[in-house]
Amino acid sequence: MRFSDAKANAESNNISNVEFFVGDMKNVFNTNFISQHGKPDVIITDPPRDGMHKDVVQKILDIAPSRIVYVSCNSATQARDLELMKESYKVVKVQPVDMFPQTHHVENVVLLKKKK
């Protein structure tokens, strides 16, 4: 999904309390961004096949949103990243999605909630 598609989808569903930002999370979520926009309640991440860089995982842990939605096309790198977050977050739900039924590829969506 492109940035413009996300905005159009929000508008067509009468959702006005959302903002979209696109870019490498370790660069987007800097001190200036946080001071200007505040800390997000939810982070949705869909990293490349290699998973999230450890600096990105640490940045998410520093921001500490109440929920994280982690979409992945590689369950092995997703499991590696979830292991790095297990002290602060618990896995609430896992949903595999077969978007490419003629192949062995499966997208995996994980909902994480901050531990109290």
Cα-flanking dihedrals φ and ψ of residue 13, to 5°? -105, 15
HSE-up (13 A, CA, CB side) for residue 81: 30
Residue numbers annotated as active site: 73
Q: d(Cα 21, Cα 1) in Å, to the nearest integer?
A: 13
Between vectors from CA 79 to CA 112 and to CA 90, what angle results, nearest 5°? 25
Helix 75-85 and helix 54-63, axial crossing angle in degrees, nearest 10: 40
